[in-house]
Amino acid sequence: MTTTTRFQTRPLVRAVALAGLPLVTMGSGSALAQGSELEELRQRVQQLESRLEVPAESKMEEENNYLRRDGNGIRIGSTTVTIGGFIKADVLAGSNGNGWENAYSVGLARSFANAAKNGESDWKTGFSARETRLSLATKTLDVAGHDLTTYLEMDFNQGADAPGNEVVSNSYAPRLRQAYGSWNNWDFGQTHTTFSELAALPEILDQGKQAAFIYTRQPMVRYNMAAPGGKLMVALENPEDGFGSNSYDDQSYPDLVARYQLRNSYGIYSIAGLLRSLEDDAADETEVTGAVSVSARIPTVGRDDLKLQYNYGALGRYIGLFTYPDVDLAAQAGGDVKPLKSYGATAAYRHHWNPNWRSTLSVSHLEIVDDLEASPAGTLSYFDTSTSVHANLLWSAHPKLTLGLEYAYWDFGEIATSSREQYEQVMGSATLRF
């Protein structure tokens, strides 16, 4: 909507009109004729005033063409800047004595497995706002003939041993999630791996924290090109074959990733391949291996959808938020580089009860398919299978406001035995976007 700013012209116009009033009224033979002439004069004065009105936007451009609103952001010169993000407040009650140590809400499967096996029976409660995110995006038109966009995203969800405490201040430092730029079909920087299809990511409150979904971010160089029915993405991404905070940094070659995405009225479908070089300088050995992933988001009834993902190969750190290492650690200690093969499957159905209420039921399973040489030392964990189930109810009174309640159940199968351990949690969350 365009607003207008009126110049102070009315006194001048009215003075001119009144000065000519005797000339207009001279010779009028009746009061009726005089009234008609006055009404006509008023209309002419109003028309003159409307012509002198100037749009406020034009006036602002004259005063400052460097900074102005442009769509959803602020235009600074030729660049539009958009600030976004959300405040996320969570409360969690976890079984087996797990109440978010130091408000740690990353939700690693290994952390849940340790809680499931610790022998405690009490439920513990924790509160956190550390998944709050802040983003800054820019778009600059016509940079060497192409638009240039950048995106920066941070949250506060660092490790359990990160500086900060719940005693007094609950203060935590920000961490980098994404930082990348795009130009002429190229992407440069850190974002979600090309190996995963985020359109198939289930909508759960503990986002990405399930047994077998690929939810990895890392630096890369990627090229995007049009392909029949969709697009093809090819990327060189940061290589890594460590475990937890133990990084070997022995890689000579980047991870090579390619994904083909098909989009149509029947949904979104992707197939991806990963080629990796796993190295160990101490053993002086290199192993080239890989993995595949297929994903889909299929519309069903009304606004409902079904989300699917299946993965197989040397998945390692790429799947389940690093549930298993990239190599058999026991074999590596003996001088061999042996990729640890696994498979994972995730299925989620989202149902919209009405325009404001919706639910997701998600089931995810991850399992090691290789025989371990020295179990469980080869994985630094006691389990070779993990299964997660999430069920939630979400209410969105507005696209920028979502309140939700979610129940999660985890099951862990112990290596070389028939024993199983379980973990449960209930999570409430409020997400306020800006």
Q: Which residue, chain included where needed, has tokens 């004065």?
A: 45
Q: What's the pLDDT score for residue 15?
A: 46
Sign, Cα dihedral of 309, 99, 158, 204: positive
**Distance (Å, rounded) from C-alpha 106 to C-alpha 94?**
14
Q: What percent of the chain has pLDDT over 70?
A: 78
* pLDDT tier for residue 193 given thresholds of 50, 70 and 90: very high
Encode pLDDT of 309-351 as tens digits.
999 999 999 999 889 989 888 888 888 888 999 999 999 999 9
pLDDT value at residue 299: 98
pLDDT digits (tens, 9 = 90+) for 119-149: 777 888 888 898 999 999 999 999 999 999 9
The pLDDT assigned to 2 comes to: 45
pLDDT at 86: 97
pLDDT in tens, 364-419: 999 999 877 677 877 878 899 999 999 999 999 999 999 999 999 999 999 988 89
Burial class (CB within 10 angstroms; exposed 0-12, middle 13-18, buried 19+) of 430: middle
pLDDT band (50, 70, 90) for residue 168: confident
pLDDT at position 113: 85
Would the pLDDT of 27 be above 70?
Answer: no
User: What pLDDT is attached to residue 166?
Assistant: 75
pLDDT score of 268: 97
How large is the average pLDDT for residues 73-77? Answer: 87
Cβ(128)–Cβ(90) under 8 Å? yes
pLDDT of residue 417: 85
- Identity of the amino acid at 401: L
Give the per-residue pLDDT at 50: 58
pLDDT tier, 21 (very low <50, low <70, confident <90, very high otherwise): very low
Query: Whole-prediction pTM value?
Result: 0.81
Hey, what are 346's tokens? 């995730």
- Range with lowest mean pLDDT among 226-240, 297-311, 377-391: 377-391
* Whether pLDDT at 98 is above 70: no
Contact 250, 327 (CB under 8 A): no
What is the average pLDDT across 64-93?
79
Cα separation, 401 vs 340, in Å, equals 42
Average pLDDT of the residues in 347-364? 98
pLDDT of residue 58: 39
Q: What is the pLDDT of residue 163?
A: 66
The secondary structure of the chain, three-state, reads: CCCEECCCCHHHHHHHHHHCHHHHHCCCCCHHHHHHHHHHHHHHHHHHHHHCCEEHHHHHHHHCCCEEEECCEEEECCEEEEEEEEEEEEEEEECCCCCCHHHCCCCCHHHHHHHHHCCCCCCEEEEECCCCEEEEEEEEEEECCEEEEEEEEEECCCCCCCCCCCCCCCCCCCEEEEEEEEECCEEEEEEECCCCCHHHCCCCCCCCCCCCCECCEEEEEEEEEEECCEEEEEEEECCCCCECCECCCCCCCCEEEEEEEEEECCEEEEEEEEEEEEEECCCCEEEEEEEEEEEEEEECCCCCEEEEEEEEECCHHHECCCCCCCECHHHHHCCCCCECCEEEEEEEEEEECCCCEEEEEEEEEEEECCCCCCCCCCCCCCEEEEEEEEEEEEEEEECCEEEEEEEEEEEEEECCCCCEEEEEEEEEEEEEEC
| Residue 274 banded pLDDT, cuts 50, 70, 90 | very high
Half-sphere exposure of 382 (CA within 13 A, CB side): 17
Confidence of residue 221 (pLDDT cuts 50, 70, 90): very high
Which range (46-50, 81-85, 134-138) has the least confidence? 46-50
Q: How confident is the model at residue 24 (pLDDT cuts 50, 70, 90)?
A: very low
Tell me the angle at which helices 10-19 and 31-51 cross, rounded to the nearest 10 degrees: 150
C-beta separation of 431 from 87 below 8 A:
yes
Q: What is the chain's length?
A: 434
Decide if pLDDT at 51 tops 60.
Answer: no
- Higher pLDDT: 307 or 66? It is 307
Model confidence at 363: pLDDT above 50: yes
Q: Most confidently modeled of 149-163, 178-192, 233-247, 281-295?
A: 178-192
pLDDT given at position 116: 84
The whole-angstrom separation of Cα 371 and Cα 369 is 7
Q: Is the dihedral of CA 407, 202, 205, 122 positive or negative?
A: positive
Query: Averaged over 60-82, what is the pLDDT?
Result: 65
User: What pLDDT does 10 receive?
Assistant: 47
Q: What average pLDDT does the chain have?
A: 83
Is a pLDDT exceeding 90 seen at residue 284? Answer: no
What residue has token string 């020295």?
A: 374
